[in-house]
């Protein structure tokens, strides 16, 4: 059975940029283990004749033609931005490297 | 930084180590609209003028796949000799960076659209190396950051950053090679030729502008070293060292130079008893060096999961075969065919390829010029002009049809070589077609014998001593008269005809 350790939760929290206290880490490790184990039960009923699915809608190839639609315009695009400068979104100092 | 700056000489490094490399090439597709929305994709537009709720990642916006992007990806996959997946899906790649509006990039992970292919890469000396392709998958591009404050405009020391999402959401195909090993001293050359071949292929397919300087073709280069086996030791038993991934390698020259740099850097580290760190590095064109980024272990946890907002892509066999029918001749085959039909030497052909002149020469020949004269213009006068102006041949004002017309004027004797250069000057200055320039500038060769004879008489009268020599049968003395006539007609006489007329006048044979 799968199990989510406290370290796993801490790492996920760090990747998701969520600040968790020690108490929360302990609590979530237990809860997430229960959730993952419950989901794992699905794999017991999955048999080779049941195709894996990532989507409940039985459709494929939903495409659009390569035709331009009018974009928002700079003013509208930046209207809800907390800060903007020279037509660009202004963001705080980036800590760390480019991805 | 505790990094050693000493590099081992590459030749010395290659005596002790065998390099292995892999390359990820990002090809930006030239669709009119973005991957998942109808925003235009023009390069160089004002910031944030080609954005909408979808590519800004606003709540509630839903992506819809661009059919043309799928078509381009399949054609590229087929041209890379890949299998096309009967069913592939998109996935979310999660990371936090301001150029990513949604905090995830829509990409493909476990089900790429194309996989298991290869590309035959021809080196300068004609050697062909087959590079195995692991996969080619679709994804969307990110926006662009500008860092403000600090001295260098780099991220270090910046006070804040500004983001333009115009590029965000433009379709990309990322082509991933399998590891290439055993190339020894030709490692860097093979890597460069591979990227050049991908570029030529994408260009021939017409699916991308493939301008490395504008970022529509970008490469990340992985490199690691394997120590050479000692005598009697099995080479396969020697483990491959840790690899570095160099980002931002955005010219063919940089591909070659960054590989040589990494070979020298890693070899120096290993030889000194150190270890290579598995990490991302950044290439700096100005200093020809790489500097470390994040260590790979930290960076690679992207928590991929299937994109719930998009349905699977399942191209029918019929569609795939239809697209296979649209594939152009491979660039290598095309080069061989053209070289044979044009009768160029290997060197002439290589020069034309390197100058990006094949299409221009081909069009010039199609417009009626001989292959030799097309080469003479494009690789001579026109290449010099392009070089002086710092532009590409294709960006010059002269078209293949005009070059063919100019050569036609030379062949019919209406202009001589010297006049032809003046005509070309006029064409390049935008004065019109060669015919128009000849008329406007009055550059036509004087073919009226009466006018030439008058000029000859004048020259003979001016140089009686020369006239006497010719009368005595000294044929070579006629050169002075021809020269004088050419001068008097400002180069517009046909020198051969003048000479003929001078000699006939004295009853001599040329
Ligand atoms: Zn958009």
- For every residue of B359-383, DSSP letters joined together read HHHHHHHHTT--HHHHHHIIIIIHH
Which one, of B201, B438, B208, lies nearest residue B335 by Cα?
A: B201
Say how far apart CA B482 and CA B445 lie, in whole Å: 14
Please judge whether B147 and A94 are an interchain contact, meaning their C-beta atoms are less than 8 angstroms apart. yes
pLDDT of residue B216: 92
B312 C-alpha to ligand 1 centroid (Å): 21
Query: B353 or B48: which carries more pLDDT confidence?
Result: B48
Record: contact A66-B280, CB cut-off 8 A: no
**What confidence score (pLDDT) does residue B2 get?**
47
Instruction: Please write the tens of the pLDDT for every residue from B426-456.
Output: 999 999 999 999 888 887 777 778 888 888 8
Cα B45 to averaged position of ligand 1 atoms, centre (Å): 14
Residue with tokens 């051969």: B496
**Mean of pLDDT values over B48-66:** 96
C-alpha count within 13 angstroms, C-beta hemisphere, residue B147: 16
Tell me the domain boundaries of chain B: 10-297, 331-441, 449-505
Chain A residues with beta carbon closer than 8 angstroms to that of B69: 66
Considering only CB atoms, B48 lies closest to which of A11, A67, A77, namely: A77
Q: B346-354 and B358-366 helices cross at what angle (nearest 10)?
A: 110
Mean pLDDT of B250-259: 92
**How many angstroms is it from B34 CA to the middle of ligand 1?**
7
Backbone dihedral angles phi then psi of residue A21, each to the nearest 5 degrees? -80, 170
Residue B251 predicted with pLDDT over 50: yes
Tell me the DSSP string of B294-346. Answer: EEHHHHT----EE-TTSPPB---HHHHHHHHTTPPPPHHHHHHHHHHHHT--H
Beta bridge partners of B244: B223, B279
For B116, the token pair is 């298991």
- The pLDDT value given to residue B1: 42
| Cα-Cα end-to-end distance for chain A | 34
**pLDDT tens-digit profile of B470-497?**
888 888 888 888 888 888 887 778 888 8
CB contact under 8 A, A89 and B165: yes
* CA B243 to the chain's CA centroid: 28
- 3-state SS class at B10: helix
pLDDT at B295: 63
* Among the ranges given (A45-49, B122-126, B174-178), the one the predictor scored with the smallest mean pLDDT: A45-49
**Averaged over B327-338, what is the pLDDT?**
90
Q: What is the pLDDT of residue A60?
A: 92
SS3 assignment for B99-123: CCCCCEEEECCCCCCEEEEEEEEEC
CA atoms of B454 and B449, how far apart (whole Å): 8
Higher pLDDT, B394 or B86: B86
d(CA B472, CA B468): 6
CA A96–ligand 1 middle distance (angstroms) = 28
Among B242-251, B346-355, B473-482, B484-493, whose mean pLDDT is lowest?
A: B484-493
Enumerate residues with CB within 5 Å of ligand 1 (an ion): B 37, 39, 52, 54-55
- What is the CA(A83)–ligand 1 centre distance, in A? 20
The reported pLDDT for the residue numbered A51 is 74
- Tell whether the model's pLDDT for residue B97 goes beyond 90: no
Q: Give the C-alpha separation, B283 to B251, whole Å.
A: 11
Mutate to test the interface with A, among B38, B42, B48, B69 (most CBs of A within 10 A): B48
Spatial neighbors of B403 by CB under 8 A, at least 6 apart, are B360, B364, B367, B369, B374, B377, B378, B382
| The pLDDT of residue A99 is above 60 | no
Contact state of A71 with B50 under an 8 Å Cβ cutoff: yes
Architecture of A6-45 per CATH?
Orthogonal Bundle (1.10)
**Helix, strand, coil fractions of chain B, as percent rounded to 5:** 40, 20, 40
Mean pLDDT for B334-363 is: 92
Chain CA centroid to CA A96, Å:
20
Count the Cβ atoms, other than its own, within 10 Å of residue B171: 28
Q: Nearest-CA distance from A80 to chain B in Å?
A: 10
Q: CB contacts < 8 Å between A and B, how many?
A: 138
A90 confidence band (pLDDT: 50, 70, 90)? very high
Q: Do A63 and B66 touch (CB under 8 A)?
A: yes
pTM comes to: 0.79
Indicate if the pLDDT at residue B163 is higher than 70. yes
Distance CA B297, CA B302 (A): 11
Position B220 pLDDT exceeds 60: yes
The pLDDT-based confidence of B34 (bands split at 50, 70, 90) is very high
Least confident range from B31-35, B339-343, B440-444, B478-482: namely: B440-444
pLDDT at A98 over 60: no
CA B228 to chain centre: 35
Nearest to B28 by CA among B282, B217, B258, B191: B217
- Search chain A and give the residue with CA nearest B101: A89
Confidence of residue B510 (pLDDT cuts 50, 70, 90): low
> Is it the case that residue B69 has pLDDT exceeding 90?
yes
CA B313 to chain A, closest CA, distance in angstroms equals: 5
The span from the CA of B304 to the CA of B297, in Å, is 16
What is the edge-to-edge ordering of all strands in the sheet holding B104-107? B104-107, B91-94, B305-306
Identify all chain A residues contacting B52, using CB atoms and an 8 Å cutoff.
69, 71-72
Span of A21-25, A49-53, B52-56, B239-243 with lowest mean pLDDT:
A49-53
Q: Which of B326, B328, B349 is nearest to B338 (CA)?
A: B349
Task: Check residue B415 and give its pLDDT.
Answer: 85
Statement: residue B107 has pLDDT above 70: yes
Using the mean position of ligand 1's atoms as its centre, give its distance from the Cα of residue B105 in Å.
Answer: 14
Mean pLDDT of B382-402: 90
Paired strand residues for B136: B114, B175
Residues in chain A within 8 Å Cβ distance of B49: 71, 73-74, 77, 87
Summarize pLDDT for A25-82 with one digit per residue, the tens: 999 999 999 999 888 888 787 777 777 777 778 899 999 999 999 999 999 999 989 9
Give the pLDDT score at B296.
Answer: 54
Distance from the CA of B268 to the center of ligand 1, in angstroms? Answer: 47
> If pLDDT is split at 50, 70 and 90, which confidence band does B419 have?
confident
d(CA B456, CA B486): 10
Q: Packing angle between helix B449-462 and helix B464-471, nearest 10 degrees?
A: 110
Is residue B203 within 8 A of residue B224, CB to CB? The reply is no
Domain B449-505 part of CATH 1.10.10? yes
DSSP-based three-state secondary structure for A57: coil
The partner residue sitting opposite A93, judged by closest CB among B64, B159, B293, is B159
């Amino acid at each position: 059975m799968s199990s989510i350790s406290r370290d796993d939760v801490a790492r996920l929290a760090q990747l998701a940029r969520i600040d968790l206290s020690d108490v929360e880490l302990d609590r979530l490790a237990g809860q997430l283990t229960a959730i993952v184990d419950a989901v794992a039960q699905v794999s017991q009923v999955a048999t080779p004749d049941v195709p894996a699915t990532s989507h409940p809608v039985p459709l494929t190839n939903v495409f659009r033609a390569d035709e331009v639609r009018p974009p928002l315009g700079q003013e509208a695009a930046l209207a809800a931005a907390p800060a903007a400068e020279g037509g660009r979104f202004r963001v705080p100092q980036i800590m760390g490297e480019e991805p | 930084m505790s990094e050693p700056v000493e590099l081992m000489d590459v030749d010395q490094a290659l005596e002790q180590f065998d390099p292995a490399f892999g390359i990820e090439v990002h090809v930006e597709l030239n669709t009119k609209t973005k991957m998942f929305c109808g925003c235009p994709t023009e390069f160089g537009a004002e910031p944030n003028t080609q954005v909408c709720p979808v590519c800004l990642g606003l709540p509630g916006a839903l992506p819809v796949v661009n059919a043309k992007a799928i078509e381009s990806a399949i054609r590229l996959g087929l041209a890379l000799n890949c299998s096309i997946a009967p069913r592939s899906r998109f996935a979310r790649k999660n990371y936090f960076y301001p150029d990513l509006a949604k905090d995830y990039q829509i990409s493909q992970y476990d089900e790429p659209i194309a996989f298991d292919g290869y590309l035959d890469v021809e080196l300068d000396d004609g050697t062909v190396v087959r590079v195995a392709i692991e996969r080619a998958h679709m994804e969307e591009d990110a926006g662009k950051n500008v860092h403000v404050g600090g001295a260098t405009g780099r991220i270090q020391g910046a006070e804040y950053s500004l983001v333009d999402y115009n590029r965000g959401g433009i379709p990309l195909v990322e082509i991933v090679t399998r590891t290439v090993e055993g190339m020894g001293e030709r490692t860097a050359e093979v890597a460069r030729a591979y990227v050049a071949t991908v570029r030529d292929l994408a260009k021939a397919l017409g699916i991308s502008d493939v301008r490395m300087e504008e970022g529509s073709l970008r490469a990340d280069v992985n490199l690691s070293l394997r120590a050479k086996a000692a005598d009697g030791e099995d080479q396969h038993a020697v483990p491959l060292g840790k690899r570095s991934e160099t980002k931002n390698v955005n010219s063919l020259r940089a591909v070659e130079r960054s590989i040589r740099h990494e070979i020298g850097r890693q070899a120096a580290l290993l030889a000194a008893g150190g270890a290579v760190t598995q990490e991302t590095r950044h290439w700096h064109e100005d200093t020809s060096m790489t500097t470390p980024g994040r260590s790979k272990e930290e960076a690679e946890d992207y928590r991929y999961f299937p994109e719930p907002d998009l349905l699977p892509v399942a191209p029918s066999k019929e569609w795939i075969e239809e697209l296979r029918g649209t594939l152009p001749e491979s660039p290598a085959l095309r080069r061989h065919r053209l070289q044979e039909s044009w009768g160029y030497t290997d060197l002439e052909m290589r020069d034309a390829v390197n100058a990006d002149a094949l299409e221009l020469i081909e069009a010039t020949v199609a417009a009626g010029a001989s292959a030799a004269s097309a080469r003479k213009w494009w690789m001579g006068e026109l290449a010099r002009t392009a070089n002086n102006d710092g532009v590409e041949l294709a960006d010059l004002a002269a078209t293949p049809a005009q070059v063919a017309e100019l050569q036609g004027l030379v062949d019919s004797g209406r202009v001589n070589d010297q006049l032809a250069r003046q005509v070309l000057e006029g064409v390049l200055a935008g004065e019109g077609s060669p015919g128009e320039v000849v008329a406007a500038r009055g550059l036509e060769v004087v073919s009226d014998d009466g006018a030439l004879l008058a000029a000859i008489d004048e020259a003979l009268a001016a140089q009686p001593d020369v006239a006497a020599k010719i009368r005595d049968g000294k044929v070579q003395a006629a050169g002075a008269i021809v020269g004088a006539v050419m001068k008097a007609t400002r180069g517009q006489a046909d020198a051969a005809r003048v000479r003929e007329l001078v000699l006939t006048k004295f009853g001599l044979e040329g």
